[in-house]
Amino acid sequence: MRKMCYAVLVTILAAGILSACGTNAATEPVSPSEIPVQTETPTPEVSATPTATPAPTAEGVTPTVTPTPTPEPIRDLSEFDPKEFFKEAVFCGDSLMHLYRFRGGPSTTPDIFGDRNTSSWLTITNYCARLAVKDVSTMLPWEKASVPSFRGEKVNLWDAIPQTGKKRVMLFFGLNDIGPVGIDQFIADYKAVIEHIRETTPDAKFYILSVTPVRKDMRDGWLNSKSIQKTNERLLEMCEENGLVYVDVTTILSDSEGYLITVKDGKSLSDGSNVHLTNAGYVYWDIVLEQLAREELRKEYYEGRK
């Protein structure tokens, strides 16, 4: 009996010792250095790419389409009245231009010019570029005699043209200049005359008539088809460089060698002198100038509509 009690006591004591040891293991603090540290790599935040918001579209709305303009058809030259051109013109020049007023032009073709007094005329026999460039106040009496008059007085072109109120300046020089001063000086004088006129009439438009041909049987050493051809080439060059209109009244009157056709269509074009024309000769000036007038009016019509 005593042995059984002893065995029970030993068992109880052993159980108590084991219980105590288990409690200490569970409650004893652990050193921080003994605790494994878990390092977490942070995941970077990704910014969302903004999505473009589509522009609102109006439902049921048709986009506006700009129509392509239909080009205006080219108007025929016959629709333009040359009288409208020449009523703004002032004619300046030597005997060829002077006689045109009385033998041709407004005297014989009123359908082109209208009233003969519509255009203004600053012309006289023996006039030339070398005189036109000089101031009349400095001229000798014999020089003034070959200068045109306006309102009863001998005048400079640049003074008289503004008084006419005309803006289209028709100029004809050369036959009285080529021999005495040569082509180079003639062109220089011509340019100077134009510049003087531009100073007083800045909105003037210039029309430079070519030098007309001479008769082959009356040619001389300085006035012949070659010198006239060369002069007209220089005049064309001058026009192209200075914004002037070159008017060819030479070709229509010239034969294959560049001399004046004396008889055409059974009519005499020469009045018997070296350079001057008859009424029939000036008809060809009419043809050229009427064409010029219509073309210029049409050009200005379309320029005004831009």
* Predicted pLDDT at 189: 98
* Predicted pLDDT at 72: 66
Instruction: Tell whether the model's pLDDT for residue 43 goes beyond 90.
Output: no
CA distances from 211 to 177, 195, 226, 229, 279 (A): 11, 20, 12, 8, 18
Q: Can you name the residues that pair with 122 across neighbouring β-strands?
A: 92
- CB atoms closer than 10 angstroms to residue 181: 16
Residues 70, 87: Cα–Cα separation, whole Å: 33
Instruction: Tell whether the model's pLDDT for residue 54 goes beyond 80.
Output: no
Q: What angle do CA 14, 19, 23 make, to 5 degrees?
A: 150
Report, as an integer, the average pLDDT of 141-169: 97
Residues 239, 221: Cα–Cα separation, whole Å: 27
Phi–psi pair at 122, nearest 5 degrees: -120, 75
Whether 129 and 190 have beta carbons less than 8 Å apart is answered as: yes
Distance of CA 36 to the CA centre of its chain: 91
pLDDT band at 70 (very low <50, low <70, confident <90, very high): low
* Predicted pLDDT at 131: 98
Q: Taking the model in full, what pTM does it have?
A: 0.76
What's the mean pLDDT when you consider all of the chain? 84
**CATH classification code of 77-303:** 3.40.50.1110
- CB atoms closer than 10 angstroms to residue 259: 19
Residue-wise pLDDT tens digits, 214-223? 999 987 788 9
Report, as an integer, the average pLDDT of 195-213: 98
Domain ranges of the chain: 77-303
Phi–psi pair at 39, nearest 5 degrees: -95, 125
Instruction: Tell whether the model's pLDDT for residue 137 goes beyond 80.
Output: yes
Instruction: Tell whether the model's pLDDT for residue 6 goes beyond 50.
Output: no
Instruction: Tell whether the model's pLDDT for residue 65 goes beyond 90.
Output: no
Instruction: Tell whether the model's pLDDT for residue 50 goes beyond 90.
Output: no
pLDDT band at 107 (very low <50, low <70, confident <90, very high): confident
Interaxial angle between packed helices 225-242 and 183-200, expressed in degrees from 0 to 180 and rounded to the nearest 10: 30
**12-21, 211-220, 249-258: segment of lowest average pLDDT:** 12-21
Q: Which of the two residues, 157 and 17, has the higher pLDDT score?
A: 157
Residues 52, 117: Cα–Cα separation, whole Å: 77
Q: Which of the two residues, 41 and 188, has the higher pLDDT score?
A: 188
